A and B are shown apart, each in its own frame.
Chain A
């Protein structure tokens, strides 16, 4: 691992944001599922960890507000990162997460490759599924955040809208939360852990750097671009320290275990989940 040439992919701030959303998302998942399944023994036991239904609600609400603050900070952060003088280039070049026409083309190529109709596409720094993962948060966070805040303050909310809108908000909050959990625990985890070359774990998001040889296969356009622009040498970094690697393996696998456990619970208790 340490012999491999590694190049930087995520800055410290990006990794901090990821760890932040991991921790808060899992806390919200556990407290949310516990309350959703409160009429079952499992729900009562989980809620009991947080000191009963009220306690779990307090944790859920507090962490929810933290998440919203984190999301706002992230938006300020990315807006500050854009070079507004040359915004067109800054937003639309290959180092940006903004979807480009090339993503649609690569998606088409990938589907063709799935069915043996073409060669495997080579990607740039961010692939279309990585962009989807990123932008999906921008759909889920406002929906969960707005419905959550309205439900947190129902008296104030019913002053600006009819009270029965909260019935609909409960549905939105639960359904969107289930979608987010199922997506992360099934699809995000599979892509991050089970893909070839990723097992046992795609360490990029924790280590911040990725192996150059592996990326040459999948993200050939990115490496080629780095070489062309003469930035490859300066992108090379040292691998993660052993203690740090141990720490993020423990952390990552704990998160994975919690997620898979919740997935199991969703499957087992599927008939007890009422999203409305």
Chain B
């Protein structure tokens, strides 16, 4: 065969191959993650308490909380009205450097006076932690403030890992202040907890109601039979059956 024809054929094949590859090649991205799965990311190195850049981790993707539309709107919509209390709303405060800024007599107050529900959870009740051991000293930054240690992008390394050595981003998505599973609002914010709660609730009530009734009727019926059998056999065993109506008389009198 003519070597030129062979070369031409090879070049043509390479060009065709490259053209095909254009369609199959993944598009180049400006910042690609090393692995695509949010769960398996850094799996072999996750035990380290390393600091990750924000583009490396996507903590919000693994958070169970679904952001509510209202909250988004509050942010994106331009301020058309004078809303003096806007700064008090928690969604804003969670992004402030000093989340308690402007609260009157703040220095004289205790955390649990306002954060009643937040004060009751396993870390305070069981592990005997104080609020400041996680949330830090004054000024307490909002958890979503960019430089806050509590920011989900570094919470694992700066807060959780103080006790849970080797805490990962995934680990830090555990909700310490979890919403009440039975609360209707939880359906929107943490759906899997809400529906798990209903499932277990119905399972417990269903099982106990069914077998409770089953056992109750059963024991009642057996006892009734036992008593009625005794009533039947007693008169035969006792010699004078005629005495039976006599005890009723004193009762009537």
Chain A positions near chain B (C-beta within 8 angstroms): 35, 38-39, 53, 110, 113-114, 129, 132, 154-155, 158-168, 171-172, 175-176, 178-179, 182-183, 186-187, 190-191, 194-196, 275-276
Contacts and interface: CB of A to CB of B under 8 A. Distances in A.
Contacts of A187: 208, 211-212, 215
Given A154-B174, A164-B174, 6 more contacts: A39-B120, A114-B217, A159-B43, A163-B172, A183-B211, A186-B215
Interface string B186-215: 000010110011001101100110011011
B197 A171 contact: yes
B181 A276 contact: yes
Nearest to B156: A163
A114 B221 contact: yes
Interface of B: 38-39, 43, 46-47, 62-64, 120, 125-126, 164, 166-168, 170-175, 178, 180-182, 190, 192-193, 196-197, 200-201, 203-204, 207-208, 211-212, 214-215, 217-219, 221-223, 225-226
What 5 pairs across the A-B complex have the smallest Cβ distances? Answer: A175-B200, A276-B181, A158-B171, A196-B222, A163-B174
Contacts of B180: 276
A191 B215 contact: yes
Q: For chain B, what secondary structure do more than half of its interface residues adopt (helix, strand, loop), or is it mixed? A: helix
Given A167-B64, A187-B215, A158 B221 contact: no
A178 B200 CA distance: 10
Nearest to B175: A167
Contact of B62 (A53, A155, A164, A194): A164
Contacts of A38: 125-126
Contacts of A129: 211, 214
Contacts, number: 117
A162 B39 contact: yes
Given A155-B164, A163-B171, A164-B174, A171 B193 contact: yes
Given A155-B47, A190-B219, A176 B200 contact: yes
A2 to B, nearest CB: 24
Given A163-B172, A164-B173, A186-B212, A39 B204 contact: no
A158 B197 contact: no
A162 B170 CA distance: 5
30 contacts: A38-B125, A38-B126, A39-B125, A113-B221, A114-B217, A129-B211, A129-B214, A155-B164, A155-B166, A158-B168, A159-B43, A159-B170, A162-B62, A162-B170, A163-B62, A163-B168, A163-B172, A163-B174, A164-B64, A175-B204, A183-B207, A183-B211, A187-B211, A187-B215, A190-B219, A191-B215, A194-B219, A195-B218, A196-B219, A196-B222
A53 B126 CA distance: 7
B39 to A, nearest CB: 7
Choose among A161, A162, A186 the residue with the greatest number of B CB atoms under 10 Å from its CB. Answer: A162
A69 B157 CA distance: 35
Nearest to B227: A196
B200 A172 contact: yes
Contacts of B208: 179, 182-183, 186-187
Given A114-B217, A183-B208, A196-B223, A168 B193 contact: yes
B205 to A, nearest CB: 10
Contacts of A155: 47, 164, 166-168, 171
Contacts of A276: 178, 180-182, 193, 197
A275 B168 CA distance: 26
